Copies of this chain bind each other. A is one copy, B any other.
Amino acid sequence: MLLSKSCVYGLRASLYLASRKEGEFTSIKEMSTKLDISFHFLTKILQQLTAAAFMESYKGPNGGLRLSQKGRDATLFDLVVAIDGIELFTQCALGLPGCGSEKPCPLHESWIDTRASIQAMLEKTTLDKLGKQGKENLFRISATGAFSWS
């Protein structure tokens, strides 16, 4: 798997928040229901993104999470790095510590390009723009049709 489940869940919830009106809080309960993700597990993942200041939380009735300015400006790459770490984009495809252009593994040159294209894919747009694009294109972020861009 390219991205961990935690990571995918974090991305989908981030896209959910990107679809909401700026500044508005959305409860984790709502997101977990609409995206069909375990509530407690999603809570834990989003705590990481809140700690990393991509989101802001507010407790109590009508509380929840919302994207911060940093979050709205963030790309999916930023979120992936925050959850899964940077290794995918820096390490050798065969996991060989000494691999480099001096003494490369058989995949080295190809992998440099390929991993850059993965990064480019994730860096293409910000959450803010993805929120707007989602409304236009009705992008899928849930398995079922439980979520819809209002």
A binding-site residues for B, Cβ under 8 Å: 1-3, 5, 8, 11-12, 15, 76, 87-88, 93-99, 103-108, 110-111, 113-114, 117-118, 121-122, 124, 130, 133-134, 137-144
- Whether A98 pairs with B144 at a CB distance below 8 angstroms is yes
Q: List 9 A-B contacts (CB under 8 A).
A: A2-B93, A3-B94, A12-B94, A15-B106, A96-B143, A98-B144, A99-B140, A106-B139, A114-B118
Which single member of B1, B111, B130, B141 contacts A87 (CB below 8 Å)? B1
* Shortest beta-carbon distance from A110 to chain B in Å: 4
Nearest B residue to A130 via CB reads B106
The distance from the CB of A147 to the nearest CB of chain B, in whole angstroms, is: 11
> Taking the full assembly, how many copies of this chain does it contain?
2
- From the candidates B3, B99, B104, name the one contacting A93 in the complex (CB within 8 A): B3
| A110-B124, A114-B118 known; A95 vs B5 contact (CB < 8 Å) | yes
Whether the Cβ atoms of B103 and A138 lie closer than 8 Å is: yes
Of the candidates B103, B117, B130, B140, which one forms a contact with A98 in the assembled complex, judged by CB atoms under 8 Å apart? B140
The reply to whether A103 and B140 contact each other, CB–CB distance below 8 Å, is yes
Q: Are B141 and A106 in contact (CB under 8 A)?
A: yes
User: Does the CB pair A140–B1 fall under 8 Å?
Assistant: no
Which residues in B have their C-beta under 8 angstroms from that of A11?
94
Chain B residues within 8 Å of A138, by CB: 103
Known contacts A5-B95, A98-B143: does B121 contact A111 (CB below 8 Å)?
Answer: yes
